[in-house]
Amino acid sequence: MQRSILTRTVRLALLLAVLFTAVACDQSPLFYSISNETKRKTAAVPGTPSRTVRMVTSGSIFVANGKLLKRTGSDWQGASRPDGGLVRDLAGIGDTLFALTVSESDLATKIWKSTDDAVSWGASAIQLDTAASGYDSFDSLFTAGPAGSEILFVGAHKSDSDYVILRYDAGASALVPEEDGMGAGGILTGAAYLDLTGEYFLSTESEGILRGTTLGSLTPETGTVDSSFILSGIISVDTDSTAGTDTLVAVGRGESLLLSKDGNPFTSHNKGYIFPGALAVYADGTMNQVLVGIQDGTTYGFMEIDLTALSDAADATAVTLNKVGGTSSSTGDYSQFAGSLGTEAVRSLAYYTIPASVDTATYGIVFASTVNEGLWSSTNRGNWNLES
Amino acid sequence: MSIRALRPAFMAAFLLCLGVFAMAQESEAETPAMEAPEESEPLPIDSEWDGPAPKLYSKGDKTFIINLGTILPLFFYSAEGKVMDNKLSIGGTGSLNYNYYFNSNMALGGEFGGSFSGTLGGNMLFMMPFGIKGTYHFIASPFEFPVSLMVGGVTQSYLGTDYFGLIVKPGAAAYWRFNPDWSFGLNSVWWWIPQWTSSATTTSYGNFLELTLSARYHF
């Protein structure tokens, strides 16, 4: 009896061993991933940074996390702020840097302009046109337009239910209304310009994507006005290297991805990821990807859309989001990414080629601004870590 | 580290405290009934038993064990034979065991537990092993030195990704018998955890050392 139980137990243990061995083979290698982790550096830009902005002539890169910081070469240093307020958002057109500041005392917001790498700022903030009177609570800054003639678009509101999009043309004296009379869903979340048709596209949370060639008369695009989208960003991309940008990708917190090709109407598809709105094009001549910030349970960071595949995609349903990593990705090693930036919520992405005239050698760098975890980067498809 | 991640450790600590509390209650309950001997001289009793001394354990005895302590990540090596960078820190572990004795030295039972270990990148690895455990006891009363082997499964979780596979845990312990119901000791167990994948590069074998304080209830 005793031997029988022992024998059965040993047999059961062996059976379990065989069973567990059999089910194990196609699972993700956790120990391997852990062995590829890297220690986080001390953040040069801690907190929740804004988008990065690069000046065309100097090559200086700016980011704001309350303070304004400037990257010269590979070093981050504090830059002068336009007033005593916290810098909430940045935008750049050519060599002009725009900064949205918030007063710590009365929460008043202002928009400032510098044309000399933030060495000096305008004597006064950019004013509101009388037609935009009262819309002095600024939320966000975006730029879009033909190369060399971009327009600054500003999301603003008068009250919690009265939103507006303002426009600032180069050389103009004041911010003028681009679209007004929008409700709470009228928060400006992105701007893009399609070279192929010469149209502007402004995405709002739930008032749809405003579209048109003539500023001042943009209209909501059919099929994009859906409160479930909760649109968070839009980007224009060149999928065929001819005639400039030809495709638009918009994303939303409602898990939808919207696609418009060659100026055709948008199609949408639920991709099963929350999209915080971070979008960038990574094109180094060999790897050509659209980087898309994602959130899925405990998985964060970003995924990629291959530009060639995007060119072939008939509609949003056919767009495939790929994990980063591999020979055609913006990031070489997925497991290192997964254990670093892949754990953080990304609010903006940007890719730049840094010329040897700015740093010691030419290289490509992707910046990722995270929520509460600082500014991250990856150089030449290498490991992700905090900018230090 | 999330509270949910510490649940196994909290549970083990709670059960450990519960056991000690129960033992204390028993001792208090027994004390009034005992009468102190008037003199310390041995009682004038001659034993008529001339057979072998009774064994400490016999068939049907059972123990319930609570372990709580640390887990040390030792090393990983790949299927290619390379030692991989070990980027885990010392973590916490706890387990519960039930054992049934078949004779004076051998017991069979089951075990389940959990562990957590931080990583270099600020992430966390969780493991929840369970399995069948065989134990052989070397006894030198009031000390006992059980050696054991557990074979079973382990659910591992890291960055929202799970891996379920085999675990083999050879171990040894040293216990001091505090009273007929309780013994306490130190427990050391090697955890061998293979992670087989379709690639020899990513197939890896994890090796850990569990060092725990152990409370054992006999019934």
Tell me: the pLDDT tens digits for B116-166? 999 998 899 999 999 999 999 898 888 899 999 999 999 999 988 899 999
Name the domain count of chain B. 1
Question: B136 in a domain, yes or no?
Answer: yes
Does the pLDDT at position B4 exceed 70?
Answer: no
What's the pTM value of the predicted model, to 2 decimals?
0.79
Angle at B145 between CA B68 and CA B108, to 5 degrees: 75
pLDDT at B198: 82
**Shortest Cα distance, chain B CAs vs residue A129, angstroms:** 49
Does the pLDDT at position A350 exceed 90?
Answer: yes
Best CA proximity match to A251, nearest among A211, A294, A283, A222: A294
Cα separation, B118 vs B128, whole angstroms: 15
Q: What is the mean pLDDT of residues A218-246?
A: 91
pLDDT at A21: 64
Angle at A187 between CA A184 and CA A192, to 5 degrees: 150
Place of tokens 């078949």: B102
User: Can you read off the two tokens belonging to residue B198?
Assistant: 């379709």
Percent of chain B residues past pLDDT 70, beyond the cut: 75
> Reduced to 3 states, what is the DSSP secondary structure of residue A347?
strand
CATH number of the domain where residue B87 is located: 2.40.160.20
Does the pLDDT at position B169 exceed 90?
Answer: yes
Which pLDDT band, with edges at 50, 70 and 90, does B43 fall under? low
Cα separation, A353 vs A255, whole angstroms: 31
Cα separation, B78 vs A24, whole angstroms: 15
Which among A39, A298, A338 is the nearest to B120, CB-wise? A39
**CA distances for B63 relative to A39, A117, B150, B168, angstroms:** 44, 74, 16, 21
Q: What is the mean pLDDT of residues A27-48?
A: 90
Question: B50 in a domain, yes or no?
Answer: no
Contact B132 A6 (CB under 8 A): no
Q: What is the pLDDT of residues A107-126, one digit of tens each?
A: 999 999 999 999 999 888 99
Chain A contact residues (CB < 8 Å to B): 2, 5-6, 9, 12-14, 16-17, 20-21, 23-40, 297-299, 338-340, 342-343
Best CA proximity match to B113, nearest among B29, B169, B184, B172: B169
Q: What is the mean pLDDT of residues B182-198?
A: 92
Q: What is the mean pLDDT of residues B60-84?
A: 91
Least confident stretch, A232-241, A270-279, A371-380, B18-27: B18-27
Contact A40 B165 (CB under 8 A): no
Contact B197 A27 (CB under 8 A): yes
Residue B198 · residue B80 · CB < 8 Å: no
Which pLDDT band, with edges at 50, 70 and 90, does B31 fall under? very low
Does the pLDDT at position B18 exceed 60?
Answer: no
Q: What is the mean pLDDT of residues A121-146?
A: 93
Q: What is the pLDDT of residues A304-323, one digit of tens each?
A: 999 989 989 999 999 999 99
Place of tokens 């997964």: A338
Which residue intervals of B43-105 are DSSP H helices? none
Using a CB–CB cutoff of 8 Å, tell me whether B97 touches chain A. no
**CA distances for B20 relative to A183, B43, B184, B214, angstroms:** 64, 33, 10, 11
Which pLDDT band, with edges at 50, 70 and 90, does B82 fall under? confident
Least confident stretch, A268-282, A333-347, B29-43, B73-87: B29-43
Does the pLDDT at position B34 exceed 50?
Answer: no
Domain that holds residue B73: 4-27+62-218
**Shortest Cα distance, chain A CAs vs residue B188, angstroms:** 21
Q: Taking CA atoms, what residue in A is nearest to B208?
A: A31
Which among A6, A28, A339 is the nearest to B119, CB-wise? A339
Which pLDDT band, with edges at 50, 70 and 90, does B64 fall under? very high
Percent of chain A residues past pLDDT 70, beyond the cut: 95
**Shortest Cα distance, chain A CAs vs residue B91, angstroms:** 15
CB neighbours of residue B22 within 10 Å: 13
Place of tokens 């898309």: A292
> Reduced to 3 states, what is the DSSP secondary structure of residue A298?
coil
pLDDT at A123: 85
Does the pLDDT at position A191 exceed 60?
Answer: yes
Using a CB–CB cutoff of 8 Å, tell me whether B37 touches chain A. no
Which pLDDT band, with edges at 50, 70 and 90, does B33 fall under? very low
Residue type, A224: T
Best CA proximity match to A135, nearest among A161, A159, A106, A101: A159
Q: What is the mean pLDDT of residues A119-136?
A: 92
Which among A29, A32, A299 is the nearest to B160, CB-wise? A299
Which among A14, A17, A29 is the nearest to B197, CB-wise? A29
Cα separation, B129 vs A86, whole angstroms: 50
**CA distances for B168 relative to A107, A161, A218, B68, angstroms:** 61, 62, 67, 19
User: Can you read off the two tokens belonging to residue A229?
Assistant: 């989208």
Which pLDDT band, with edges at 50, 70 and 90, does B104 fall under? confident
Total beta-carbon pairs less than 8 A apart between chain A and chain B? 130
Please, which residues have CB within 8 angstroms of residue B195's CB and are 6 or more apart in sequence? A24, A27, A29, A30, A31, A32, B156, B163, B165, B203, B204, B205, B206
Does the pLDDT at position A195 exceed 90?
Answer: yes
Q: What is the pLDDT of residues A282-305, one digit of tens each?
A: 988 778 899 999 998 777 999 999
Contact A37 B86 (CB under 8 A): no
pLDDT at A117: 93
Does the pLDDT at position B20 exceed 60?
Answer: no
Disruptive mutation site among B75, B149, B151 for chain A (greatest number of A CBs within 10 Å)? B151
Does the pLDDT at position B114 exceed 60?
Answer: yes
The beta strands (E) that lie in chain B are given as: 62-78, 83-84, 91-101, 106-118, 124-140, 143-158, 161-177, 182-195, 204-218
User: Can you read off the two tokens belonging to residue A43?
Assistant: 């953040």
Cα separation, B174 vs B160, whole angstroms: 37
User: Can you read off the two tokens belonging to residue B15?
Assistant: 């059960």
* Per-chain mean pLDDT for chain A: 91
Question: B211 in a domain, yes or no?
Answer: yes
Q: What is the mean pLDDT of residues A9-24?
A: 68
Please, which residues have CB within 8 angstroms of residue B124's CB and are 6 or more apart in sequence? B1, B5, B116, B117, B118, B158
pLDDT at B51: 67
Disruptive mutation site among A19, A34, A333 for chain B (greatest number of B CBs within 10 Å)? A34
Chain B positions touching A6 (Cβ under 8 A) are: 102, 108
Residue type, A205: E
Which pLDDT band, with edges at 50, 70 and 90, does B46 fall under? low
Peptide bond into B8 cis (omega under 30): no
pLDDT at A1: 52
Residues forming a β-bridge with A54: A61
Place of tokens 């899925």: A296
Contact B84 A12 (CB under 8 A): no
Chain B positions touching A22 (Cβ under 8 A) are: none
Place of tokens 């929008």: A182
Cα separation, B34 vs A123, whole angstroms: 93
Q: What is the mean pLDDT of residues B180-202?
A: 90
